[in-house]
Structure 1
Amino acid sequence: MIQGLYEDLKGKTALITGGLGCLGRVLCTEFAKQGTNLIILDKSQEDAVFLTELRRYQISTEFHQVDFESGDSRSRVIEEISKTTQRLDILINNAAYVGSTDAPGWAVPFQDQSIDTWNKALEVNLTTPFHLIQGLEKLLRLSDAPTIVNIGSIYGSHGPDWEIYKGTDMGNPAGYAASKGGLIQLTRWLATTLSPKIRVNCVSPGGISRNQDISFVEKYSLRTPLKRMATEDEIVSSILFLSSSSANYITGQNIQVDGGWSAW
């Protein structure tokens, strides 16, 4: 449970992509607790039960189903939001193409990784944030203190340690690393381009505990100074901070919430 209340988030409007995913649901819930109105984008169909749970915090919620791999689908939702939203205070680019271990040409040896999955990763992880930021910039500029938080990854800045994957069916595709690395650099580019009105930062999580193979968890933990994987709450707390006035003088940064992984 995230402690404390960012008073200035109450009454603001945040758009969160991938809002029905593992991290996305925690993001939506914690922002709702702060009194932040939500616009949720996800590839999955609307989850009426979850949206009802969010509304008990007396906020407004709006849901749009989007195919993040489709420029036409993204353009449609940008147009819809622009017609119905007076202003946008916070934009969180959380949706990501992670893929599953059995996705053809994805979590496989480098020689077998496909151009198709490479392109999908770039489309969802890099082109989608670019497209949404560009399309919603006018709404963001109507806010008194607009901010963008992109969700990167430690693998956007660091190469994988392949030892921790041995003996598991898990992988670390090149397309994921390249797209997250691009997103981190896009964050820096946007921070100088959209300044001084709009702040743009990135949060790069380390591994989040999600019932992974026990041997992976053990080896990952040994590779990390804090000797464990992260929780969803520990990632979300950094995003809340960057979205609030507490971070008013922070822009263009990539904050690695990784338990010290990047300190070795």
Structure 2
Amino acid sequence: MSDEFALDGKVVVLTGAAGIIGNHVIKAFLASGARVFAIDRDEEALEKNCGSSHEGLLTCVADISSSDAVKKAFLTLRSHWGEPHVLLNNAATKSENFFEPFEIFPVDEWNQVMSVNLTGAMLCAQVFGGAMAKRGVGSIVNTLSIYGIVAPDQRIYEGSEYLGRAINTPAIYAASKAGLWGLTKYLAAYWGHRGVRVNAVTPGGVFSGQNNRFVENYSRRTPLGRMGGTDDIVNAMRYLASDASKYVTGHNLVVDGGWTVW
């Protein structure tokens, strides 16, 4: 009996490869038989977190907010492994004043974040997803956030810190992720008849250095009583990338420990 969760022979494009989830995606997808084309604009972090020693891994330094950079990355991929089977739009960014109050959030930084979180995903879908549509098969998985589908509970941020810095969830993050969900549904309908599935994974809070106060606040607010782990998110991505989900499109797989049931 074949394993439809396996990714043998699939060429997977991953953006935000050097981030909190990205390097775990690389390890899991390589173990599942995929070849991973790992894109990130931070060359140092890409080398540190991903390396390039595995024969199934190819790294690429590129700023996905640039149309020319995305097209150049596509040509690099095609020259090495041909065209992609899967696109994981996983990149997201923060700005210098990311945690400033909404009332004074700088519009230039709003545009900067939107250019990666939403426009960058659109550009990658145009180039890599467009190639899939021409070929008549493919899967696109967009990384959202619970704050793209529900509003943040501001109470959990009282006394909360990340790596020693006070944190919150700014409006730009919620808006960009909500926009990406809209793009997900649009492309699912737009490319469905051409064999390209387009879905989303919505992570809840993933532990990555938050202080004990935040972890306690967040866990108490969640039915399963804990924050998520990277494996929780990666497993959902693997399902949507694989043939196990071959009749699933336009879907948002929410992996949040039950946060959004309340």
Alignment TM-score > 0.5, same fold = yes
**Which ranges of structure 2 fall in alignment gaps of 5 or more residues?**
161-165
Of 149, 152, 177, the residue aligned with 1:157 is 149
- What does 1:161-172 correspond to in 2, within 5 Å? 161-168=153-160, 169-172=166-169
Of 116, 132, 135, the residue aligned with 1:124 is 116
Counterpart position of 1:178: 175
Counterpart position of 1:76: 72
1:143 Cα deviation after fit: 5.7
Aligned residue for 2:58, secondary structure, equals strand
Distance 1:237 1:159 in 2: 25
Aligned residue for 1:47, secondary structure, equals helix
Tell me, yes or no, if structure 1 residue 63 matches structure 2 residue 59.
yes
TM-score by length of 2: 0.90
Aligned residue for 1:234, secondary structure, equals helix
Aligned residue for 2:91, secondary structure, equals coil
Of 204, 215, 221, the residue aligned with 1:206 is 204
Counterpart position of 2:22: 24
Counterpart position of 2:163: none
Q: Structure 1 residues 83 and 50 mapped into 2: Cα distance closer, same or farther (>3 Å)?
A: closer
Distance 2:59 2:151 in 1: 36
1:137 Cα deviation after fit: 3.1
1:211 Cα deviation after fit: 2.1
Counterpart position of 1:188: 185
Q: Deviations over 1:132-172 (max 9, x none)?
A: 11112343246674100000000001101110011231021
Q: Is the 8 A contact 1:149 1:202 kept in 2?
A: yes
Regions of 4+ moved over 6 Å: none
- What does 1:76-95 correspond to in 2, within 5 Å? 76-95=72-91
Distance 1:98 1:261 in 2: 24
Distance 1:7 1:47 in 2: 28
1:8 Cα deviation after fit: 3.9
Aligned residue for 2:253, secondary structure, equals strand
Counterpart position of 2:126: 134
Distance 2:99 2:111 in 1: 14
Distance 1:165 1:48 in 2: 31
Distance 1:61 1:77 in 2: 14
Counterpart position of 1:51: 51
Q: Is the 8 A contact 1:78 1:132 kept in 2?
A: no
Counterpart position of 1:97: 93
1:82 Cα deviation after fit: 4.2
Of 31, 34, 56, the residue aligned with 1:33 is 31
Residues matched between the structures, number:
252
Q: Structure 1 residues 141 and 243 mapped into 2: Cα distance closer, same or farther (>3 Å)?
A: same
Deviates more, 1:83-92 or 1:125-134: 83-92
Q: Which residue type is aligned with residue 246 of structure 2?
A: N
Q: Is the 8 A contact 1:88 1:142 kept in 2?
A: no
Aligned residue for 2:155, secondary structure, equals helix
What RMSD in Å do the two structures reach over aligned CA positions?
1.9
Counterpart position of 1:255: 253
1:73 Cα deviation after fit: 2.4
1:70 Cα deviation after fit: 3.0
Q: Is the 8 A contact 2:207 2:227 kept in 1?
A: yes
Distance 2:135 2:222 in 1: 39
Q: Which residue type is aligned with residue 58 of structure 2?
A: E
1:255 Cα deviation after fit: 1.1
Distance 1:22 1:154 in 2: 16
Q: Structure 1 residues 114 and 238 mapped into 2: Cα distance closer, same or farther (>3 Å)?
A: same
1:227 Cα deviation after fit: 0.8
**Which ranges of structure 1 fall in alignment gaps of 5 or more residues?**
none
Distance 2:144 2:235 in 1: 15
1:245 Cα deviation after fit: 1.0
